[in-house]
Amino acid sequence: MEQPLPYSEKVMDHFTNPRNVGELADASGVGTVGNPICGDVMRMYLKIENDIITDAKFKTFGCGAAVATSSMVTEMVKGKSIEEALKISNKAVAEALGGLPPIKMHCSVLAEEALRSAIMDYYKKQGKEPPFKAPEHGGHGQDGHNH
């Protein structure tokens, strides 16, 4: 008998039909981050007007779980203020997708960090101090991986 896939229907939906793939030519902030666990790369583009995220797009050299989480994150942040967007954790994204296998939780960190890095870039471009620190690897305690 075939093993059922370890992915929820929502993950499969966002993987096979990802939302917001591409670039924003007039992005207010762009963030690129690499995943220290697998070496995959994520880039996120944000359009921000009056501290509200009005558009978001992403590109990735990442796995299916990275595609699905980024697709979900770009959907979740649209219309949110920067403050609200910064509260979105990789766990919240994974939950919104109906869960991820534990071994793939590190992929969702890539989406969260790319989002923070794009917001950071926005602040930098504005000549302002970001209200948080640069994404740091290993500080998340996200899933017990520490290699």
Residues noted as catalytic: 38, 107
Strands (E), the chain: 29-34, 41-49, 52-61
What is d(CA 129, CA 60) in angstroms, rounded to the nearest whole number? Answer: 27
Q: Shortest distance, CB of residue 5 to ligand FES, whole angstroms?
A: 15
State whether residue 59 is helix, strand or coil.
strand
Give the integer Cα–Cα distance in Å for 77 and 64.
Answer: 20
Q: Taking the complex as a whole, how short is the minimal distance between the CB of residue 132 and ligand FES, in angstroms?
A: 23
76 close to 96: Cβ distance less than 8 angstroms: yes
Give Cβ neighbours of residue 133 (< 8 Å, ≥ 6 apart). none
Q: How far is the CB of 22 from ligand FES (least distance, A)?
A: 19
64 or 130, CB closer to ligand FES?
Answer: 64
Nearer to ligand FES, 48 or 65 (CB): 65
Residue listed under structure tokens 């880039």: 43
Type of residue numbered 65: A
Residues interacting with ligand FES, by CB under 6 A?
35, 38, 40, 62-63, 65-66, 107, 110
**In the complex, minimum distance from the CB of residue 118 to ligand FES, in angstroms, rounded to a whole number:** 17
Residue 82 or 114: the one with the smaller Cβ distance to ligand FES is: 114
Secondary structure letter of residue 19 according to DSSP? S
Nearer to ligand FES, 42 or 82 (CB): 42
